[in-house]
Amino acid sequence: MTQNIKKRIFSGVQPSGNLHIGNFLGAIKQWVDLQDEYDSVFSVVDYHAITVKYDPNVLKKKIIEIAKIYIAGGINSERVIIFQQSDVRAHTELCWILNAVSARISDLNKMTQFKDKAGLGNVNVGVGLYDYPVLMAADILLYNTDIVPVGDDQLQHVELARDLAKRFNHDYEKIFKIPEAKIIKQGARIMGLDNPEKKMSKSAKSDLSRIGLLDKPRLAMKKIMKATTDIGAEIKFCPKEKPGISNLLTIYSLLGNIEIKKLEKKYTNKMYGEFKKDLAEIVAEFLNNFQKKYNKTDDKQITEILTAGAKKAEPIAEETLLKVKRAIGLK
Ligand code: AMP
Ligand code: TRP
């Protein structure tokens, strides 16, 4: 009889900034949908968060906040592993090894997120920001990951993880599984509410650009009402011609569980104002439910979940690391 071994997914979010509905719809909602089908490992990737300027006291709180958001979002902590990246030392160890034996400057020079974050010609950023994708590769490869569910901005990083794994396997020994990115068809790139040409981000200057998962529902409703729409009154999904309304349709469809086609029908000959009012209600209801669960979980419980998660993650990561150390001649 063949044993039914589940494939593994691994993903993570940085404990920085304020998580928004883009993070939820692009990443966490996918994890929730996949958690039963896959053996799931989700990390709070704190070592990634320290690659840009941050406040240590805020970071401490954010680590707990992110884990709480995973749970309020629907991750089942009894069945999946949730852990803090820095609790498992193998991540930075494998990162160093990959830096030395597999990653090339030419790989990292291609990374668009680094270029965006560092700015052109800026040499005053930390080396960690440059090396960030190699740490991410280590995260993924330590767990024999099959699938990495992320928003589409992370695709290039997952591709690097694949390249490093293949190079290592070729140069030393076939140890790493080659992971695949899983990008959802709808919601992989939620755009800013004030500027639908730019993705919704934690770091955009205007708070009106995003709906935070912990925003007061009333404030979120106001943000929806203020969201930029497009020329022409038609409520139609067409990201090129109507980026604003298409983005709002995507959010409505995902949070309200209604197909975009049905929404287009429902709002034929209706005004933007009416559509936005309904969407504002949907968003407020989502936030209310989410925040109720968020507020129910206490910090102590979260610390226990993270400690238990690290205990489960560590042996998996250590086993891979030991194989790697043997293959490269350290053991
Ligand atoms: P980060 O905020 O960079 O830690 O991202 C956490 C996860 O959210 C990653 O999987 C991202 O790809 C995803 N993500 C971030 N912003 C968006 C967005 N605007 N739309 C969809 N997914 C996003
Ligand atoms: N770089 C990812 C982001 O900003 C976070 C991350 C770190 C990650 N390590 C990972 C995502 C491993 C998936 C798998 O969103």
> What is the distance, to the nearest Å, from the Cα of residue 145 to the centroid of all Cα atoms in its chain?
16
Catalytic hit among 29, 62, 199, 276: 199
100 falls within a domain: yes
- 60 catalytically annotated: no
314 falls within a domain: yes
Share of the chain above pLDDT 70, in %: 99
The answer to whether the beta carbons of residues 109 and 152 sit under 8 Å apart is no
The answer to whether the beta carbons of residues 188 and 154 sit under 8 Å apart is no
32 plus 156 within the same structural domain: yes
Distance from residue 153's CA to the centre of ligand 1 (Å): 7
pLDDT score at 186:
80
111 plus 241 within the same structural domain: no
Distance from residue 153's CA to the centre of ligand 2 (Å): 10
304 plus 252 within the same structural domain: no
Q: What pLDDT band is residue 5 in, cutting at 50, 70 and 90?
A: confident
Q: Which of 84, 139, 182, 202 to mutate to test ligand 2, by most ligand atoms within 8 A of the CB atom?
A: 139
Distance between CA atoms of residues 168 and 241, nearest Å = 45
Give per-residue pLDDT as tens, 268-283: 999 999 999 999 999 9
Q: What pLDDT band is residue 188 in, cutting at 50, 70 and 90?
A: confident
Amino acid at 282: I
Atom 18 of ligand 1: nearest residue by CA position = 22
pLDDT score at 175:
98
48 plus 159 within the same structural domain: yes
Q: What is the CATH number of the domain that holds 219?
A: 1.10.240.10
Domains contained in the chain, number? 2
DSSP conformation class of 42: E
What is the DSSP pairing of strand 81-84 with strand 39-44? Answer: parallel
42 plus 158 within the same structural domain: yes
Domain containing residue 158: 8-183+298-327
52 plus 168 within the same structural domain: yes
pLDDT score at 97:
98
The set of protein residues with a Cβ atom below 6 angstroms from ligand 2 is 10-12, 14, 45, 48, 136, 139-140, 148, 150, 154, 157
- 265 catalytically annotated: no
57 falls within a domain: yes
Give per-residue pLDDT as tens, 64-100: 999 999 999 999 999 999 999 999 999 999 999 999 9
173 plus 309 within the same structural domain: yes
Closest CA to 37 of 143, 184, 188, 147: 147
List, in sequence order, the alpha helices (H) in the chain.
Answer: 21-23, 29-34, 46-49, 56-72, 90-101, 105-108, 112-118, 127-142, 155-171, 217-226, 243-256, 260-266, 272-296, 299-327
Q: What pLDDT band is residue 2 in, cutting at 50, 70 and 90?
A: low
Over 60: is that where the pLDDT of 173 sits? Answer: yes
251 plus 165 within the same structural domain: no
Over 60: is that where the pLDDT of 1 sits? Answer: no
Tokens representing 39 are 């053996």
The set of protein residues with a Cβ atom below 6 angstroms from ligand 1 is 13-14, 22-23, 25-27, 150-151, 153-154, 188-190, 199-202
Distance from residue 22's CA to the centre of ligand 1 (Å): 6
Give per-residue pLDDT as tens, 20-40: 999 999 889 999 999 999 999
117 plus 211 within the same structural domain: no
55 plus 177 within the same structural domain: yes
Catalytic hit among 202, 222, 236, 312: 202
Q: Which of 24, 34, 150 to mutate to test ligand 2, by most ligand atoms within 8 A of the CB atom?
A: 150
Which atom, in ligand 1's list, is nearest to the CA of 17? Answer: 2
Over 80: is that where the pLDDT of 151 sits? Answer: yes
Atom 22 of ligand 1: nearest residue by CA position = 26
- 223 catalytically annotated: no
pLDDT score at 184:
84
97 plus 132 within the same structural domain: yes
DSSP for 233-289 reads: S-----TTT-HHHHHHHHHHHHHHT--HHHHHHHTTT--HHHHHHHHHHHHHHHHHH
304 plus 257 within the same structural domain: no
198 falls within a domain: no
pLDDT score at 4:
64
Over 60: is that where the pLDDT of 119 sits? Answer: yes
pLDDT score at 30:
92
Distance between CA atoms of residues 241 and 219, nearest Å = 28
Distance from residue 136's CA to the centre of ligand 2 (Å): 6
